[in-house]
Structure 1
């Protein structure tokens, strides 16, 4: 298997080989994937960390000689990857080696806020994450403060603390331990919500046992009870609670 990685700060992964096609997720700098099919303008790829498949435009990646370690990420202050010919602005959550990364012919030096994921500083870092992402616009498939969806938000929060989640809300709900009673909810627990067909379609991160931060229109903070999320601005429940899960 030949491995490649994104050599831009962020790029769309699309459902079909077209710029007009739905963006199913985004690929961050250095994230590794295998190329399943080469096309004229687009390549079909499979991401190594989530097994997500889709199409990226050609020439937005380079071959990896070795699979880089991913226990470090770019912290909230951001960072840069420098080569002799390129500088790439790195977004929070970008997985990086601690010092350098070879993509294709370019050797990038990593600078900035490099963080090793740990839960030791959860009480200090979790409020910073809330402040960093609050009011970010909702974007289907998005994974950055410039546009993010609900499961992208929970994924990047957990990545900050060294915990890997799958990409979609329903996939994330398949792991973790169930929290049976709302008074037992702790900061960082994930709450999942379903539609009328019973399919999990939404996820948010609990701030405490009655407050949730989630991406719906924008990243926002709302109240939650046994019925679901209550939006004060709309004066109604917007999401029906299905289950709460704990991962640490």
Structure 2
């Protein structure tokens, strides 16, 4: 097996090996992947954390052998906090977005092959036992973030990227897409039993789950639709007051903790 690691803050993951191809997701700095196929300008990869597949442009990552990867992972896993931070080398620096996972030594450096990297900035403070008390506040901090198909950051995010990112800050791992997330967790049978942080899923006219949002309480949901927004939800689905109609049809509510 061949492995690689993303060496830029945030890069597109394409459906096919072309800039015009659909961006199915994004790869954040430090994310590890298996290299499946190599072309002249593009490489087909499988992300190790989520098994997600796509094409990344050559020059946006560094190849790793097994020993280099294990050495990198000896650092303490840390997540960049909401205020973000800066990663520096001897000659350059770049901004890291919230949710980026780093493996840091005691000096806030990384065991990275052939390159010294130092992180300065915010570190995510949350753990699983703070989920109920803090998830709503963290999710609300993304309000008005623009919707971006395949997006995973405060600079543009899609619905399942939003739920995945917020959950990751509480050490809760979710797959990338809404339909995959809906296959996990425990079903919440009644609207009256909804708790903060539960995920609500919505289907299209063909019955396919295509949307997800995070419940703030029994009646209100935060989700990415044109932008990250807060709307009312009932047994029918999400009611968009601006449009004066239901925008998404409720399929199921799931709990993960």
Verify: 1:84 aligned to 2:93, yes or no. no
Matched residues in 1 for 2:36 and 2:121: separation? 33
Match of 1:32 in 2: 32
Verify: 1:66 aligned to 2:69, yes or no. yes
RMSD: 1.6
Shift of 1:161: 0.5
Shift of 1:132: 2.3
Shift of 1:124: 5.1
Shift of 1:27: 0.3
Verify: 1:182 aligned to 2:191, yes or no. yes
Q: Residues 237, 180 of structure 1: CA spacing in aligned structure 2 closer, same or farther, 3 A cutoff?
A: same
Shift of 1:107: 2.2
SS at match of 1:66: helix
Post-superposition CA distance 1:179-233 (Å, at most 9, x none): 0011110000000001111110000000000000000111000000000000000
| Larger deviation, residues 157-166 vs 73-82 | 73-82
Matched residues in 2 for 1:41 and 1:21: separation? 14
Matched-pair contact (CA < 8 Å) for 1:117–1:159 = no
Kindly report which structure 2 residues correspond to 1:110-149, keeping only aligned pairs within 5 A, or say none.
110-115=119-124, 117-122=126-131, 125-149=134-158
Matched residues in 2 for 1:201 and 1:57: separation? 27
Verify: 1:56 aligned to 2:56, yes or no. yes
Consecutive unaligned residues in structure 2, runs of 5 or more: none
| Larger deviation, residues 93-102 vs 71-80 | 93-102
Selected match of 1:205 from 201, 214, 233: 214
Matched-pair contact (CA < 8 Å) for 1:63–1:104 = no
Selected match of 1:245 from 239, 243, 254: 254
Matched residues in 2 for 1:166 and 1:116: separation? 22
Matched residues in 1 for 2:191 and 2:222: separation? 16
Match of 2:236 in 1: 227
The runs of at least 4 aligned residues of structure 1 exceeding 4 Å deviation read: none
Shift of 1:117: 4.8
Matched-pair contact (CA < 8 Å) for 2:232–2:240 = yes
Matched residues in 2 for 1:34 and 1:3: separation? 4
Q: What is the TM-score with the length of structure 1 in the denominator? A: 0.95
Matched residues in 1 for 2:168 and 2:229: separation? 20
Q: What is the TM-score with the length of structure 2 in the denominator? A: 0.92
Matched-pair contact (CA < 8 Å) for 1:72–1:116 = no
Matched residues in 1 for 2:76 and 2:35: separation? 20
Match of 2:175 in 1: 166
SS at match of 1:20: coil
Match of 1:12 in 2: 12
